[in-house]
Structure 1
Amino acid sequence: MSWMKQQAEKAKSIQVTQEDQRKATETAPAAACTAPGHLMQLQATAEKQRKEIADLRIQLERASRGRRPVSRMHEVPGRRRKLTPEQYAELKANLQKFPLANPVVLEARPDGDWNINAGNNRVAIYRELGLEEIDSIVTDIDPADAERLAFFSNLFAPSLSDYEKYWHFQCLQDEADALTRQELAATVGLSDSHVSKIFAFEGLPAEAKEALIEKPERLGAEAAAHLAKAAAEGRNGAVVEAVRRLVSDAAFTQKEAVRSVQPQAAPRNIVGETLVVKVGKKSFCEITTRNGVIGVRLKAETDRVGEWAKEIQQFIESRLASKD
């Protein structure tokens, strides 16, 4: 059983009595209703998770530190934090000028190389700069705990996009003993609604999700929910096109992307001016137009409708013939 499943089981075993609820009601602060309030709650949850993995950090401090070849370091899917091009360029410029502030964290592999637990971007930049060795720590943390450390470090990173959170959650659900969404929410300390919102990306077409890999920060969960709804209604092509444009066009906004996939409104009936033909002061007929249709309503000589229809036909034919 994975550590995530174990945490979910612990969460389910917690029993809350009526007395507990009464005390919580008396002492707990009101739920945050503002955006800053929600942010404070999220920060508090992040701090709780950081404390929970403090023992892992102690192990890191006791681990073997030294300079090791980057050529023997390997990236594990899901452990690399996605940076925007600007963030990556800023980190690269910093590493060109200054020594590494924090060593990368590695775990030993059976073949003698190392998997990277933390520091994938730093290792990648060292390779680009042609630097052969990087300051590192090798720890004997259990692989499941290494996954845990990377997961929480990435999950609560301020710059982590909604799509990357979805990707992390999806990886956890793909495990053999996969968590339900409710278990996942209880384990990571987020609300069911927040986790459900993150899973809105699940409804996007595969081509759209593939396009987001390049710039995941371009689409948030709120807009993703609208695009997923459009995809469910059969507008997959429009959704893929909207996401691809979001990735390629910095001026194209999420609101515009959502509008672009909405069904086209039915054309309104355009009613033109009613023309009245009079004989003296009496109305002979009314001529109306609506969406390309010309209607003639006789007020007089209604018994000659067929004859008037033929005369109208002949008039139109004569006009067309004069244009040839």
Structure 2
Amino acid sequence: MANWMKEQATKAKNIQVTAEDQQRALDAPPVQARTAPGQLMQLQATAERQRKEIADLKTVLDKGARAKRPIAKMHEVPGRRRKLTAEQYAELKANLAQYPLVYPVVLEARGDGEWNINAGNNRVAIYGELGIDEIDSIVSDMEPEQAERLAFFSNLFAPSLSDYEKYCHFQRLQATADALSQQELATAVGLSESHVSKIFAFDGLPMDAKAILETRPERLGADAAAHLTRAHTEGRTKEVIEAVNRLVNEERFTQKEAVASVQAKPAKATPTGQTLIVKQGKKNYCEITARNGIIGVRLKVDAERANEWAKEIQALIESKLTEKQVS
């Protein structure tokens, strides 16, 4: 798969597309695109190529024998199952409970006489829940590498695919593609580099947060993930894990609230002064404040003696200064 991805990335960088001869552009020799429109057309060409490859791979399935096979002998391959929200899963289950299967699931033969599921994991799981022992299926003789591509691109272009699931697909693809850069990966799958870069914001989340998110990946988008990743790098890992946990388990807890919960708390302002109270019996006689080099005396009782007390304070300060000079 590594060679295939490198080939896709190299070719897709240098393909230009026009409305009149899109197919010819797909097979054209390399031409460097120097402008933003040219680069956009390259990405469009690459996306079209991947859709064409999906169609080509699907034609391979026509050679398979369609029949009902026992679901007890079907096995899920990690990474190939598209995660659905609870609502989507419930809708699919209700549909399958009432109507016959329109599209057969796609299997690949194993050495032990059983099958791995290439496409249709959710349908197989639901049939099991409904107590149905067999499901309409096709066994394909495509290579495991081809099956992986088909599952990847079929899921990638699914409208309901969450940002986190895209990240998981990109991560797996990048890991098996000979250290393919994000730019090369973006070009190969037909998406903008900025979009792919945004998706990789999940890469910086704590492992515990990712594990929690696996159960409901649709709850956290890439934009919010970027904020949580930043908080993690700044040392607020515990808060990030708690925010993801609440997102997954509390329906009313929003991404906006999750981001706010991990933001750094503003430092408490240090007091700029203090207030001293002088009592006469149980009454406050006066308040003395000191702020930014200013001393103030506010009389609560005997306000008419303000000038007298001002002179007393003056005399006290002068005497203190004299003592310092003598010492």
TM range (shorter): 0.7 to 0.9
CA–CA distance in structure 2, aligned partners of residues 262 and 65 of structure 1? 55
Report deviation, 1:135. 0.2
AA aligned opposite 1:112? G
After superposition, the Cα gap between the structure-2 partners of 1:296 and 1:176, relative to the gap in structure 1 and judged at 3 Å, is same
AA aligned opposite 1:123? V
Say if 1:286 and 1:299, in contact at 8 Å, map to a contact too.
no
After superposition, the Cα gap between the structure-2 partners of 1:249 and 1:44, relative to the gap in structure 1 and judged at 3 Å, is farther
Map of 1:196 onto structure 2? 197
Say if 2:67 and 2:137, in contact at 8 Å, map to a contact too.
yes
Map of 1:115 onto structure 2? 116
CA–CA distance in structure 2, aligned partners of residues 196 and 111 of structure 1? 41
SS in 1 for 2:246: helix
AA aligned opposite 1:197? K
Report deviation, 1:111. 1.3
SS in 1 for 2:266: coil
Q: Identity of counterpart residues, as a percentage?
A: 65
Q: TM-score, normalised by structure 1?
A: 0.77
CA–CA distance in structure 2, aligned partners of residues 50 and 188 of structure 1? 10
After superposition, the Cα gap between the structure-2 partners of 1:65 and 1:307, relative to the gap in structure 1 and judged at 3 Å, is farther
Say if 1:107 and 1:141, in contact at 8 Å, map to a contact too.
yes
1:196-215 deviations in whole A, cap 9, x for unaligned? Answer: 10000011001111110111
Structural mapping, 1:230-269, within 5 Å: 230-268=231-269
Q: Which moved more, 1:209-218 or 1:297-306?
A: 297-306
Say if 2:274 and 2:290, in contact at 8 Å, map to a contact too.
yes
CA–CA distance in structure 1, aligned partners of residues 142 and 69 of structure 2? 18
Map of 2:156 onto structure 1? 155
Say if 2:119 and 2:151, in contact at 8 Å, map to a contact too.
yes
1:248-292 deviations in whole A, cap 9, x for unaligned? Answer: 111111111111111111224567998999xxxxxxx972267xx
Map of 1:16 onto structure 2? 31
AA aligned opposite 1:168? H
1:166-197 deviations in whole A, cap 9, x for unaligned? Answer: 01111122227342212211110111111110
CA–CA distance in structure 1, aligned partners of residues 103 and 315 of structure 2? 98
5+ residue gaps, structure 1, are 32-40, 278-284, 309-324
AA aligned opposite 1:255? K
Say if 2:108 and 2:116, in contact at 8 Å, map to a contact too.
yes
After superposition, the Cα gap between the structure-2 partners of 1:176 and 1:58, relative to the gap in structure 1 and judged at 3 Å, is closer
SS in 2 for 1:245: helix
Q: TM-score, normalised by structure 2?
A: 0.77
Structural mapping, 1:162-177, within 5 Å: 162-175=163-176, 177=178
Map of 2:316 onto structure 1? 304
Structural mapping, 1:196-215, within 5 Å: 196-215=197-216
1:87-137 deviations in whole A, cap 9, x for unaligned? Answer: 111111111111111100011111111111100000001111111110000
SS in 2 for 1:53: helix
Equivalences, count: 284
5+ residue gaps, structure 2, are 16-29, 279-285, 298-308, 321-327
**Residue 97 (structure 2) pairs with residue 96 (structure 1):** yes
Map of 1:58 onto structure 2? 59
Map of 1:106 onto structure 2? 107
After superposition, the Cα gap between the structure-2 partners of 1:44 and 1:73, relative to the gap in structure 1 and judged at 3 Å, is same
SS in 1 for 2:199: helix
Say if 2:70 and 2:134, in contact at 8 Å, map to a contact too.
yes
AA aligned opposite 2:132? L
After superposition, the Cα gap between the structure-2 partners of 1:44 and 1:249, relative to the gap in structure 1 and judged at 3 Å, is farther
Map of 1:321 onto structure 2? none
After superposition, the Cα gap between the structure-2 partners of 1:163 and 1:287, relative to the gap in structure 1 and judged at 3 Å, is same
CA–CA distance in structure 2, aligned partners of residues 227 and 45 of structure 1? 32
Q: Which moved more, 1:84-93 or 1:46-55?
A: 46-55
Map of 2:68 onto structure 1? 67
Report deviation, 1:307. 9.9
After superposition, the Cα gap between the structure-2 partners of 1:240 and 1:299, relative to the gap in structure 1 and judged at 3 Å, is farther
CA–CA distance in structure 1, aligned partners of residues 295 and 123 of structure 2? 75
